[in-house]
Chain A
Amino acid sequence: DAGITQSPRHKVTETGTPVTLRCHQTENHRYMYWYRQDPGHGLRLIHYSYGVKDTDKGEVSDGYSVSRSKTEDFLLTLESATSSQTSVYFCAISATDTQYFGPGTRLTVL
């Protein structure tokens, strides 16, 4: 998986609790992305980063925040998880046009 790890790989949580997902890369790529994948919607961009402390919103950013304090780490936070945020979350990295994906985190919000 191109030097990308995601943690945790699986998480079950309750509505209203905060959740943080971590993406770690060893490739020193500038760009990092968070996507969610849902049946019928494909892969949708949540947030992305174009450098340390430089982040911006994607198409489905409501209810999510991100932080990137180091090149290698990109954190996705659900401040107050809702059932609609049950999904599989993928992190990706890129240096140019091609993106390399992590193994995914399956999040269930009860």
Chain B
Amino acid sequence: SQQGEEDPQALSIQEGENATMNCSYKTSINNLQWYRQNSGRGLVHLILIRSNEREKHSGRLRVTLDTSKKSSSLLITASRAADTASYFCATDALIQGAQKLVFGQGTRLTINP
């Protein structure tokens, strides 16, 4: 079962616009991470936010975390064609007594020129 659920499943915007993706999760977490996957490639880590943090920035990326709502958002500002990819949130969760990462199904982002 998925811990994180991304919304929307697909997003198409014009180059230069901002893109916002959301992630909701079910159980308490220690941290939440966002990854990007370009078509046919492995996932690449973007940013990690800990449960005691509310907002984090990295370049054009801004991540927020609301533990009371069990949700996070990823904002990409001034989007570029190279941002076209799938974006996944991942939360740590207990699986068979050990801490693991559990990934959502992802948001497919398309940036149109």
Contacts and interface: CB of A to CB of B under 8 A. Distances in A.
B48 interface: yes
B104 A42 contact: yes
B42 A58 contact: no
Counting chain B residues whose Cβ lies within 8 A of the other chain, the interface size class is: 20 to 34
A40 B2 CA distance: 11
Interface string A90-101: 101000011111
Given A48-B100, A58-B100, A97-B48, A42 B41 contact: no
B96 interface: yes
A99 B92 CA distance: 11
Interface string B42-55: 11110010000000
Contact of B42 (A41, A44, A48, A104): A104
B31 interface: yes
Given A97-B33, A98-B33, A42 B106 contact: yes
Interface in B63-98: 88, 90, 92, 95-96, 98
Nearest to A39: B105
B41 to A, nearest CB: 6
A101 B100 contact: no
B101 interface: yes
Interface of B: 1-2, 30-31, 33, 35, 40-45, 48, 88, 90, 92, 95-96, 98, 100-106
- The 6 lowest CB-CB distance pairs between A and B, nearest first, are A101-B42, A42-B105, A43-B103, A101-B43, A98-B45, A42-B103
